A and B are shown apart, each in its own frame.
Chain A
Amino acid sequence: MNVTPKEKTVNLMFILPALILFLVFNFYPLLRTFQLSFYQWNGIDKDMVFVGFAQYKDILFNNPAFWKSMLNAGYVTILALTLQNGLALLLALLVNRQIKGENIYRVIFFLPPVLSGIVVGLIWKFVYDGNFGILNHWLISLGFTDFKDFAWLSEIKTALSSVAVVHMWKGFGYGFIILLAGLQTIPNELYEAAEVDGADKWQQFKHITVPCMIPVFTIVTILTILGSMQIFDLIYSMTRGGPAGYTHVPITKIYEYMSNGEFGYSTAMAIIFGMVLLIVSFGQLYVSKKFNR
């Protein structure tokens, strides 16, 4: 098909607004972020001091707190990948059996993800509260009296896991919806044929559901990794990185540095963090492609 220059111009005009918005609000900030990461700047001074890779070097080799925060995010991510997605898959499989009130379950399970993270964090903070939290109230009424005044978010052993539980509660609905949509695209004929061949439910799941769902698992896994590694609002509203820095994650560290006027340093942190996420995501894609074959 021949496209005339005039038609080309018209076509270009259609994408121009989106292109300008993308360049202004995505590409330019990204470029500036890269540029800023080579400077020492507090966001106010007129002059920015060029420091080259010094900030990168400091983050990579001399900032254990940042890497500790990365491990914390990794811990939350591993819990989300296993427990959260396991629960999401289980519920999706149950709802996919065309049970009564399927749509009601969909709505209920999808409610937590659409709630504001800060609001969810504040509500759960009350649940975990050592003084008048409902969790301790239940535990004590069940006979676990040791939990009197137990502050879940202030104990090193429980703080991060407590936040991770809320993160999983808030996040499993996304996985549930995507997995359910994936399950519904698998042709019923495959299961019928397998049944005729004498395959039991477990064999059907193993040889039909899982292979057909690999592309969906890949998407859910990547979204879970990106969402969990970038956790911020729950940490901010529940612990602010405490106790004693034990629940800091990369985004809260970046926020901390930026709030203290370290714009260059925090953007260098953000770029390193972005690189880590890219590597993990590409790794996951590579693995899933291998499985697909």
Chain B
Amino acid sequence: MRKSLLLKVLLLAFVVAVFGCSQKQEQQIDDKNVVKVWHWMTDRQAAFDKLAEQYYKETGVKVVFETYAPTDVYKNKVTAAASGQLLPEIFNPLSDKRELSSYIKAGFIEDLTDEMNAGWKDVFFTKSLEQNKFEEGNEWGVKPGYYGVPLDVSSLMIYYNKDLFVQAGLDPNNPPKTWKEFIEAGKKLRAANIQPFVSGFGESWLIGAFASSYQWSLFGKQGILDTIDGKIAYNDPRWVRIFSLLNEMKENKMFAAGMVTMVNKDAERTFATGRAGMSFNGSWGVNVYKSMNPNLNYGVMAPPVLEDAKYPLLIFGGDGSAMFVNAMSPKKDKAIAFLKWLSQRPQQSFLAKETLNIPSNKESAQDLPEVLKVFSESIANTFENLPKLEAWQVTNYININLQSVMIGEKTPKIAADEVQAEKIRQEKAKK
């Protein structure tokens, strides 16, 4: 009798443990007036919550923003949720186009082309829309159209500390424009015992973004595509030149101590506390520096141009954070309605004011503070949309070799040769 009772209790506990959670989940999903959004910028949580509250008052639809950091953790969460078909109504896979195409082809992302063509796209910066637009004949076989809704835009420029410039005898109102002037400025800063340049080059995408500007400048769009196709080798003299730029910076002691393994948050702290004269960083830095050191006296300049380059120097940027609608969600219409509301001028201006990011809405960008206007104007000069991408292993290898040159472990020529060898290896593996 006692055994049988114990058995029943055990079974009951097991059933409750196994099925208890799933019932709760089901209950949440059944709530037809809740739209869930996953985002990775935790510093925006308060602003998002305020907007969600306002939207609830206006429409009765409850929007729940859930933010997760750091970005790689967020990205892995999205991938896992996609595999389990548990994605929220609105999300961003934080992927390049290759991976984004997989999400689209697997039916996770809603095609917003009709909505965009019905006038929605007119409110955005063209460049911000392009990054999540698939062209006719794209190499991934995705149906041409618009898939993402840009929430804000960003670009990467060089911040410079005006006080440190004065200390080093440089003109704070006339920052370097050419590569030669940039190196000269670095020398003067170093002579004044100031670390000339800092950036989170320990994060490979950031060092890649810096070098990519010069790739555009030396190769142009067709040259980049030809390199991806293998028609131009990575040990082409122009590529050696790109590696040499980092070498030149090293030779002139421009890098801050430990920069090769520095994450961007540490680089931001170094610049905000006046320990470096210049910093390559994104437009989000305006908000970061404000919170770290409100009295920081800085200006913003474009990456210095190469005097003899054949093509214009473009900068990394475009959409800052785009949002995608879960095509599998029964509440996708509500999600689209919310995103339309969010991209209107009042909401975009509110977000820009609260988070000091550049809104994706062109009209809202007019109300920006001066320093953000520089970034906003630079959006037109961001990288162009490419119909194909280099294998990530090759891109990764370029970034690692850029780091090797930074620390003097490899010469520019050796680094370029090794990238080419990796390109060949990847080509073989692909076959």
Contact = CB atoms under 8 A, between A and B. Distances in A.
Contacts of B102: 42, 44-45, 261
A150 B258 CA distance: 8
Give the bracket for the number of chain B residues in contact with chain A: 35 or more
A149 B7 CA distance: 67
B10 A14 contact: yes
Interface in B383-431: 392-393, 396, 400-401, 403-404, 406-407, 409, 425, 429
A42 B78 CA distance: 13
Contacts, number: 105
For chain A, the bracket of interface size reads 35 or more
Given A130-B257, A244-B403, A17 B14 contact: yes
Contacts of B203: 240
Interface in B82-96: 82-83, 93, 95
A13 interface: yes
Contact of B79 (A44, A151, A242, A243): A44
B3 interface: yes
Contact of A240 (B103, B261, B406): B261
A43 B83 contact: yes
B258 A242 contact: no
A159 interface: yes
A240 B202 contact: yes
B353 interface: no
Contact of B260 (A13, A42, A154, A258): A154
A226 to B, nearest CB: 24
Given A42-B99, A131-B275, A260-B392, A153 B261 contact: yes
A116 interface: no
B419 to A, nearest CB: 13
Chain A interface, DSSP helix/strand/loop, else mixed: loop
A52 interface: no
Contacts of A129: 257-258
A159 B202 CA distance: 13
A43 B75 CA distance: 12
A57 to B, nearest CB: 10
B91 to A, nearest CB: 13
A239 B261 contact: yes
A44 B75 contact: no
A81 B386 CA distance: 50
Interface in B5-19: 7, 10-11, 14
B103 A155 contact: no
B259 interface: yes
B7 A131 contact: no
A103 to B, nearest CB: 38
Contacts of B11: 13
A129 B195 CA distance: 14
A10 interface: yes
A259 interface: yes
A259 B76 contact: yes
Contacts of A17: 10, 14
A156 B409 contact: yes
Interface in A14-69: 14, 16-17, 42-46, 58, 62
A136 to B, nearest CB: 9
Contacts of A62: 425, 429
B409 to A, nearest CB: 6
Contact of A244 (B7, B98, B256, B407): B407
A139 to B, nearest CB: 14
B258 A44 contact: no
Given A10-B3, A244-B260, A261-B95, 9 more contacts: A16-B14, A17-B10, A44-B99, A46-B105, A150-B257, A154-B259, A243-B260, A256-B396, A261-B79
CB-CB nearest 6 A-B residue pairs: A130-B257, A151-B258, A130-B258, A44-B102, A244-B403, A149-B257
